[in-house]
Amino acid sequence: MRPQNLTPLFAQTTSLPGIGPRLGKLLEKLAGPLLVDLLWRLPFAIVDRRHAPDIAQARAGEIATLTVAIDEHHVPRSPRHPYRVSCSDETGRITLTFFNGREDYLKKLLPVGEQRIVSGKVELYQGEVQMTHPDHVVPPEQRDQVLRVEPVYGLTAGLTQKVVQKAIGTALERTPELAEWQDPAFLARNRWAGWRASLVRAHAPGEEADLAPDHPARARLAFDELLASQLAIALVRHHNRTIAGRATEGDGRLRATALAALPFALTGSQSTALDEIACDMAKPERMVRLLQGDVGSGKTLVAFLAMLICVEAGAQAALMAPTELLARQHYATIVPLAEAAGVRLALLTGRDGQKQKRETLQGLADGAISLVVGTHALVQEDVQFADLALAVVDEQHRFGVHQRMALSSKGHAVDLLVMTATPIPRTLMLAAYGDLDVSKLTEKPAGRQPIDTRALPLERIGEVADGVGRQIAGGARVYWVCPLIEESEEIDLANVEERFDLLKARFPGKVGLLHGRLKSAEREATMSAFAEGRLSLLVATTVIEVGVDVPAATVMVVEHAERFGLAQLHQLRGRVGRGSARSTCLLLYAQPLGETARARLAIMRETEDGFRIAEEDLRLRGAGELLGTRQSGLPDMRLADLAAHGELLQAARDDARLVIDRDPDLESARGTALRALLYLFRRDDAVRTLRAG
């Protein structure tokens, strides 16, 4: 149960004064539905309102807080004209200007003959000093409330700074003192204040330096968040190690047969990864291992050989992929090897015919089928296994937690192997998976050649199209990717459809179109035609980013490459260079290029190492924006910046391990405080999430 003293923080934002259903919805869109969500929205800038000159000393372009007498209201004849209020002090005059101003409201706000404090940006208009829509208008007795450094928060359409500042201010007043969960020596060494004091301080920056991630208040809060995350991970790891697993050991005969059928030998890192997985599976504890491999590094083959260990031991294994396209590709890769090893393999997707589905379900239930590849159709209730020992989940971030859990629960103490083609930087790796066992595939399979990567300005698109024509004439297959523009599917589609029409007119009968709105049958028909060579050029959005495998494709053209993140460009480039022929990747960019975009394109030209690219992406964009975070199931950090707080992350990991060693059930005084921390950052859910791998 959540500790009682946290209850005020988990109240709805609509419980705050002045926040009704309409503003509540906007605050939810901005931060989340609860008070605690608001508290995690730290200011990103400041406005200093302490400058309080006379009107004569006020300079155009600066923020000033003035004490003025209200002289006269000039009500416009037409609503198209601004409403003006003349004001003065002993030294001069100023006009307050309001567009679409309501007369009754403004006369009440600025009564003639009285004094008011106004604060805002001073402007010069036709030689007159004016202030348009002052940020603050208050009576003189409230002057001290305005004369301060004001925090500036990120907003969403329909919200004003005033509303957000007031809501956060009230939320802070309702924030209770909580028992200290940090290690006292660590706290003293860093000279950090308590949690509540740090939170209040972070929301009241006095100067620019207070906004830096290493400011003591912000660093303290970041460490709290990282500790909650690492502690949740450590608890689950501890739990997984204490629940009984099963030891699955094979005799190697099926693996030897499958390997003999391969036209090449395994790479060094494939052999190492397979040894690590086999070693884990042989232990009595349950395996939860991540197989991280760059695009085209041969993860499917390693997963298949691990699955054969189960068959050698008389059990079954399943591989689950997020899309039917991906599931069919894994199946196509595995089929010849399964046949060579004499193992029965099935494919299960949502589009199987009734008869075929019945046969597959029967075979899995009675054990006649040893291996199955499928989509989330695998986790439906009617799917029963005779003895499932290993679940392999590909691109796991695209599955919900319950789906991963559902597959694991189809057997007894099922080992879990999670695969991802998104190289994750080490800091993000720690943040997301703690010290989850990781196997990395760092080499490309034998026979693969480096990809020639070039960056060209968009003005040369005509030359690129000519070059593509020559490649097609020589029998090559080409991808042409159009970007997502401002997250708008409509413009995005128009963009890709327009490019498709132009290229189709140029190369009639050879061009296919692929985007997310097409029905899956249509998408698959287009992909098959491209894979079989009936189409030579595929114009697509980023739907081809993950898992499309056409070894004959040797050219990748990316339009507006400057709009893509590094990780995404790397994924797209990985669609070519999958056969033994030389491949080319052309990155077309619009000028002028920003500094970050230029750095990104330079890195793409320099290296094909996905792990280096991921580290550079983190450095260039910060973890919050890292393309991987939204996609790879990485935790959504609200206070910690993984690019800036890498050392704190390491410290949080070490501290969490110590806590689990000494007090695994969190029953000591510090343990009780740490429980409150887990609830505060909603890591009680994370515990269930992580249990699912």
Q: Which residues of 44-72 are buried (b: 16+ CB within 10 A; e: fewer)?
A: eebbebebbeebeebeeeebbbbebebee
- Number of structural domains found in the chain: 5
Output the CA torsion sign for 164, 165, 166, 168: positive
Retrieve residue 41's tokens. Answer: 């929205």
Please give the average per-residue pLDDT across 578-589, as a whole number: 90
The DSSP H or E segment spanning 202 is helix 195-202
pTM flag (> 0.75): no
The yes-or-no verdict on residue 623 having pLDDT over 60 is no
pLDDT digits (tens, 9 = 90+) for 439-494: 888 887 777 788 999 999 999 999 999 999 999 999 999 999 987 544 455 555 45
Retrieve residue 399's tokens. Answer: 């599955």
The yes-or-no verdict on residue 217 having pLDDT over 90 is yes
Strand partners, 463: none
The yes-or-no verdict on residue 129 having pLDDT over 90 is yes
Same domain as 472, residue 616:
yes
Same domain as 606, residue 476:
yes
The yes-or-no verdict on residue 574 having pLDDT over 70 is yes
pLDDT digits (tens, 9 = 90+) for 328-354: 889 988 999 999 999 999 999 988 889
Same domain as 55, residue 41:
no
- CA 80/CA 300 separation, integer angstroms: 66
Is residue 597 in some structural domain? yes
Is residue 162 in some structural domain? no
The pLDDT of residue 402 is 61
pLDDT digits (tens, 9 = 90+) for 511-563: 999 887 788 788 888 988 998 899 999 998 876 655 567 888 999 999 999 88
Same domain as 506, residue 611:
yes
Helix/strand/coil for 217: helix
- Asked if residues 416 and 288 have their Cβ atoms less than 8 Å apart, the reply is yes
Is residue 57 in some structural domain? yes
- CA 43/CA 54 separation, integer angstroms: 30
The pLDDT of residue 60 is 94
- CA 27/CA 7 separation, integer angstroms: 19
- CA 112/CA 107 separation, integer angstroms: 8
Please give the average per-residue pLDDT across 679-688, as a whole number: 71
The pLDDT of residue 442 is 82
The yes-or-no verdict on residue 604 having pLDDT over 70 is yes
Q: Which contacts qualify for 282-286: CB closer than 8 Å, 24 or more apart?
A: 282/247, 282/248, 282/249, 283/245, 283/247, 284/244, 284/245, 284/246, 284/247, 285/240, 285/241, 285/244, 285/245, 286/240, 286/243, 286/244, 286/245, 286/246, 286/413, 286/414, 286/415, 286/416
The pLDDT of residue 654 is 92
Nearest to 172 by CA among 198, 152, 142: 198
Is residue 160 in some structural domain? no
Domain hosting residue 138, numbered range: 46-152
Nearest to 229 by CA among 668, 670, 639: 639
Specify the CATH number for the domain of residue 90: 2.40.50.140
DSSP character string of 507-541? STTSEEEE-TTS-HHHHHHHHHHHHTTS-SEEEE-
Choosing from 606, 631, 656, the residue where a domain stops is 631
Helices 566-573, 595-606: axis angle to 10 degrees equals 30
pLDDT digits (tens, 9 = 90+) for 159-203: 999 899 999 999 999 999 999 999 999 999 999 999 999 999 999
- CA 546/CA 419 separation, integer angstroms: 12
Is residue 271 in some structural domain? yes
Looking at this protein, which amino acid is placed at residue 647?
A: E
Phi-psi region of 278 (alpha: psi -120 to 50; beta: other; left: phi over 0): alpha
Q: Residue 38 — pLDDT band, cuts 50, 70, 90? A: very high
Q: Half-sphere exposure (CA, 13 Å, Cβ side) for 89?
A: 17
The pLDDT of residue 322 is 86
Helix/strand/coil for 397: helix
Provide the percentage of residues in the chain whose pLDDT is more than 70.
Answer: 90
Name the one residue in this structure whose structure tokens are 């997502």: 484
Q: Residue 427 — pLDDT band, cuts 50, 70, 90? A: low
Distance in Å from the first CA to the final CA of the chain: 24
Same domain as 368, residue 261:
yes
Name the one residue in this structure whose structure tokens are 């705050």: 16
Same domain as 372, residue 266:
yes
Same domain as 342, residue 303:
yes
Please give the average per-residue pLDDT across 574-580, as a whole number: 83
- Asked if residues 391 and 385 have their Cβ atoms less than 8 Å apart, the reply is no
Please give the average per-residue pLDDT across 19-38, as a whole number: 94
Helix/strand/coil for 632: coil
Helix/strand/coil for 236: helix
Nearest to 411 by CA among 365, 377, 368, 376: 365
Higher pLDDT, 234 or 142: 142
The yes-or-no verdict on residue 29 having pLDDT over 70 is yes
The yes-or-no verdict on residue 596 having pLDDT over 70 is yes
Is residue 210 in some structural domain? no
Helix/strand/coil for 14: helix
Q: How high is the mean pLDDT of the chain?
A: 88
The pLDDT of residue 683 is 82
- Asked if residues 349 and 338 have their Cβ atoms less than 8 Å apart, the reply is no
- Asked if residues 388 and 413 have their Cβ atoms less than 8 Å apart, the reply is no
Provide the percentage of residues in the chain whose pLDDT is more than 90.
Answer: 60
Same domain as 38, residue 81:
no
Retrieve residue 294's tokens. Answer: 């760059």
Q: Residue 42 — pLDDT band, cuts 50, 70, 90? A: very high
Peptide bond into 3 cis (omega under 30): no
Q: Which residues, including other chains, have CB under 8 Å from residue 296's CB and lie 6 or more apart?
A: 444, 445, 448, 574, 577, 578
Q: Which residues, including other chains, have CB under 8 Å from residue 49's CB and lie 6 or more apart?
A: 63, 65, 119, 136, 146, 147, 148, 149, 150
Q: Residue 408 — pLDDT band, cuts 50, 70, 90? A: confident
Higher pLDDT, 235 or 103: 103
- Residue 553 burial (C-beta neighbours within 10 Å; 0-12, 13-18, 19+): buried
- The torsion angles phi and psi of 64, rounded to 5 degrees, stand at -135, 150
Is residue 158 in some structural domain? no
Helices 253-260, 324-341: axis angle to 10 degrees equals 100
- Asked if residues 570 and 604 have their Cβ atoms less than 8 Å apart, the reply is yes
The pLDDT of residue 628 is 36
The strand pair at 371-374 and 345-348 is best described as: parallel
- CA 691/CA 659 separation, integer angstroms: 19
Is residue 415 in some structural domain? yes
Q: Which residues, including other chains, have CB under 8 Å from residue 275's CB and lie 6 or more apart?
A: none
Higher pLDDT, 210 or 352: 210
Specify the CATH number for the domain of residue 574: 3.40.50.300
Q: In 3-state terms, the chain is what percent helix, strand and coil (to 5)? A: 45, 20, 35
- Asked if residues 419 and 391 have their Cβ atoms less than 8 Å apart, the reply is no
pLDDT digits (tens, 9 = 90+) for 664-677: 888 899 999 999 99
Lowest mean pLDDT segment, chosen from 100-114, 295-309, 386-400, 521-535: 386-400
Looking only at Cα atoms, what is the longest distance across the chain? Answer: 98
Helices 299-312, 253-260: axis angle to 10 degrees equals 140
Same domain as 310, residue 366:
yes
Same domain as 280, residue 368:
yes
Same domain as 51, residue 32:
no
Same domain as 332, residue 357:
yes
Ordered alpha helix ranges (H), 626-664: 627-631, 646-662
Q: Half-sphere exposure (CA, 13 Å, Cβ side) for 287?
A: 27
